[in-house]
Structure 1
Amino acid sequence: MKRYILSLFVLSTILTLNACKKSEEPLTPSGADETYTYKVPQGNNAFDETIVDYYKKYGTYMLYKFTEKDAYWTPTGWKKPLEVKGSWTAGAEVEASDPVYIAAQLNLIKTKWFNFYSDKFLKKFLPVKILLCKRVDSVGNAFIFTPVFSSVKSTKKMPAFYNYDNIQINYGDATVNSMTAADLRLFIYKTNLIFMQSIFARGLIAPTNEFANSADYNTAMTTTTQAYGRGIIVNPSGPAVQADWNAYITAMVTYSTVQLNASVAITDSSAAGILNPIKDTAGQIKRRYNMVRNYFINEYGVDLQLIGNATRGL
C-alpha cells in the first residue's frame, strides 16, 4: 500500500511539473484524455513572426487558436464558470481573438505590459501560455430581490485574467483601436497585477534574506499601527514573510509614488499612504519598500514602481 501511494504522489508531481514547465520543445499539457501540442506559428500572418520571436526569447506560447482545455484546465479541476444550484462559480469566460486585430493587440501587450520589464524578467516569469482573446469576462452573481429573491449571471469585461499556466489577454477585437486613456491605464493596472498574481501563485519570487530578517514577524501584533511600526503592511493578525513581500510588490505595481506618499488615515487598509509618516510612523515601511524596489532594479533591471506610476497617468 505504501508503494502504491508513493507512486501516485510521484505521478502527480511529474504531471504538475510538466504542465508548469517552459520547454524549448512543443508543449503537451498533462492530465487530460486527449493530447494537445502547442506550436507556433499558428498561421502565416505577419504578426505570427512576432509571436514566434516571443517564443524564441521567452519560451512562452502566445496562442490565438486554443481550446477550452487550454484556458480552463488545472491539476485540481476545470475552472470554467458553471451554474451550480442557481449560482455561478467564480472565474472568467474567454473567446479567442479575431486575427484582424491581433497585430494591434500584440502592440498593446508590448507597450503596456512587456516594455515595463527586462528580457531576463520576462524569460523567467512569463507563464507557459498567453491566450490572445477578444473576450475576457469575469463571471459572478447579481441578485434580484423582487418578486422572489434569486441570483442571475453577471459578467464584466476584464483586460486580463490568469488561470494556472496561462494569462488571458483581452482586446483582440475592434475595441483595441478605440481605447481611451482610462482604458489604457486600466489595462496597465489589471494586466500587470494579474502578471504578479500569477507569479505569486506559481511560487516563483521568494523574499530575500535581507527582507525576511528586517522585521519582527514572531512577536504577536494586534493592531495595524503595531504592524506598520515594524514595516509590515499585511494583516497584523498573522503575517507571513511571503505575504508581506507580495504586498510590497503589489503596492508598487498598482499605486503611484504620489499615492504611496499621500496623507491617508492609518485606519485605511489600502496601500495608499504607506510611505507617509501617518502610516509609516517609524520609517520602517519606506526602508523595506526600498529593499524590495532595489532588489528588482539590481537583479532584473526592472523598476516596479514605474508600473504603478503609469496606472495614474499616460
Structure 2
Amino acid sequence: MKKIIFIIVCLWGLGVSCSEDTKIGTPDEILPDYVLPQGDASDEANDRIQDIYDTYGAYVLYNYSSKDAFWTQTAVGGSAQIYVIKLGETRYVDEMLDYIHDIWLQFFPDEFLKKGGIPYRVFLADSIYWDRSAISPGWYTCYNQRINGNSVSIAGMNKDLSGMSASIKKARKNELISAMWDYYIAQGLLNVPDEFYKDTDYEKIPALPSGGEEALEAYRKRGFLPSAYYGETPSEWFWGDYAWTQAKENDLKSFMFHLRERTDAEVAWFLNNPKYELIQKKWNILIDYYKKEFGIDIRKIGNTTFE
C-alpha cells in the first residue's frame, strides 16, 4: 500500500512540474562579425571582398573598429607593446587586393586557402607600427605585416602602391610569405617531411666553414646551404657550438630561404654541381612534397620577381 501511495505522489509531482514548464522562445539571432560591403570602396572591390568571404570564409577588411585595429601584447618583463594600425584610403582598396594576390594568394591553391590558408580576418592598412614613444619620444618601428591570432594585417594601402618597384615588391613578397609559412606550420596547415632530415648527419660538428675553402666544400657535401647572402657573399648558419644544437631547424630554414626567395639562376651553383648530391636530394624532397601534399609550387614563389 505504501508503495502505491509513493508512486502516485511521484506521478503527481511529475505532472505538476510538467505543467509549470516555461515555453522556450525563439533563439536570439546570431549576427555576423562584420557586414559586407563595409563602405565606399568601388563596387568591384566590394564584390571581390564578398567573393573571398563566400569562397574562403575570411573577411578582408578596410573599415574596422578600434578594438580590431589596436591591440596590446605583453612583452618580456611585463612592459606593453602597442601596435597601431592606420587605416588606408578606400580609393586604394582595388590596388591593395591586386597587391595581396600578387605577393601572397596566387601561390596557394583554392583547396588550401579554403582550409584556413586565408586567416579569418585580413586587415588592409595604410601602415602598421610599434609605438615606443613612451620610452623615447618619436620612436616608432614600422612593419609591412603583423600576424595576431587568426588575423593578419598588411600595410601598403596608399598612393605608393602604384609606383612600387619590382625589387621592393619582391622583398615584400618574401617577407609576407615567410611570415605566413610560419603561421601555416603553427596552425598545422603545413608540415615538414621526415625524409628531408633522413640522410643528414646533425651530430658531428663540422670544421668551421669560414676556416678555408676545403672546410666549406666538406660542409656543402654534407648537405648544408648558406642561411643568407651579403651581396654575393654567402653567410653560413653554422658558427660555433650553439648554432649546431639547432642544426635541424637551421638546415630547414636555409633550404626554405633558397626555395622561396632565390631564382633558378641564383641556385644554379649548387643544383648543377654533381658534388652536391645530398643538397640536390633534399631540395627535390621539399619541392615534391609540397607539390604533392598541398598543391603548392614552391619554386614559383622563388622565381617570381615582378620584373
TM range (shorter): 0.5 to 0.7
In structure 2, the residue matched to 1:136 is 128
Asked if the contact 2:122/2:153 (under 8 Å) is kept, the reply is: yes
Counterparts of 2:66 and 2:271, CA distance in 1 = 44
- Tell me how large the CA RMSD over aligned residues is: 3.6
The residue that corresponds to 1:102 in the other structure is 93
1:42 aligned to which of 38, 45, 60: 38
Aligned: 1:238 with 2:236: no
Aligned residues between the structures: 250
CA contact (8 A) 1:96 1:131 kept: no
Q: Is the 8 A contact 2:132 2:140 kept in 1?
A: yes
Q: Pick closer, same or farther for the CA change 1:228–1:67 going to 2, 3 Å.
A: farther
From 121, 146, 159, the equivalent of 1:174 is 159
Question: Structure 1 residues 221-230 or 208-217, which shifts more?
Answer: 221-230
- 2:197 is aligned with 1:212: yes
- 2:288 maps to 1:303: no
Residue 260 and residue 155 in structure 1: after superposition, are their counterparts in 2 closer, same or farther (change >3 A)? farther
User: What are the superposed Cα offsets for residues 8-47 of structure 1, whole Å, 9 maximum, x if unpaired?
Assistant: xxxxxxxxxxxxxxxxx978xxxxxxxxx34544347522
Determine if contact 2:70/2:85 at 8 Å carries over to the other structure.
no
Partner Cα distance (2:84, 2:51) in 1? 28
Report if the CA contact (8 A) 1:98-1:173 is conserved: yes
Distance change >3 Å, CA 245–CA 133, structure 1 → 2: same
Q: Kindly indicate whether the alpha-carbon contact (under 8 Å) linking 1:71 and 1:163 is maintained by their aligned counterparts in 2.
A: no
Q: In the alignment, is residue 257 of structure 1 matched against residue 264 of structure 2?
A: yes
Q: How far apart are 1:65 and its partner, in Å? A: 2.3
Alignment of 1:117-156 (within 5 A): 117-124=108-115, 125-137=117-129, 153-155=138-140
Determine the structure 2 residue equivalent to 1:189: 174
Asked if structure 2 preserves the Cα contact closer than 8 Å seen for 1:62 and 1:131, the reply is yes
Q: How far apart are residue 275 of structure 1 and its match?
A: 4.7
Matching of residue 52 in structure 1 with residue 50 in structure 2? yes
Local SS of the residue matching 2:147 = strand
The question of 1:289 aligning with 2:280 is answered no
Is the contact between residue 39 and residue 63 of structure 2 (CA under 8 Å) also seen in structure 1? Answer: no
CA deviations over 1:31-70 (Å, ceiling 9, x no partner) = xxxxxx3454434752222112112222222111234443
Residue 286 and residue 131 in structure 1: after superposition, are their counterparts in 2 closer, same or farther (change >3 A)? Answer: same
The aligned counterpart of 1:163 is 148
Unaligned runs of 5+ in 1: 1-24, 28-36, 142-149, 263-273
- Percentage of identical aligned residues: 22
Counterpart contact for 1:92–1:161, Cα < 8 Å: no
Question: Displacement of 1:131 after TM fit?
Answer: 0.7
Q: TM-score, normalised by structure 2?
A: 0.66
Output the CA distance in 1 between the equivalents of 2:89 and 2:278.
49
Give the aligned partner of residue 31 of structure 1.
Answer: none
Whole-angstrom distance in 2 between the partners of 1:140 and 1:258: 42
Summarize the alignment of residues 10-29 of structure 1 with structure 2, pairs less than 5 Å apart. none
Residue aligning to 2:23: none
1:134 partner amino acid = D
Query: More helix per residue: 1 or 2?
Result: 2
After TM superposition, the runs of 4+ consecutive aligned structure 1 residues lying more than 6 A away are: none
The answer on whether the counterparts of 1:162 and 1:168 sit within 8 Å (CA) in structure 2 is yes
Structure 2's unaligned 5+ residue stretches are 1-29, 210-215, 226-236
CA contact (8 A) 2:70 2:84 kept: no
* Residue 288 of structure 1: how far off its partner (Å): 0.4
Which amino acid is the alignment partner of residue 95 of structure 2?
A: A
Q: 1:95 to 1:219 in 2, by over 3 A?
A: same
Report what 1:61 is aligned to: 59
How far off is 1:291 after superposition? 0.8
| Residues 192, 151 of structure 1: alpha-carbon distance in 2 compared, 3 angstrom cutoff | same
Which whole-Å CA distance do the structure 2 matches of 1:63 and 1:158 have between them? 18
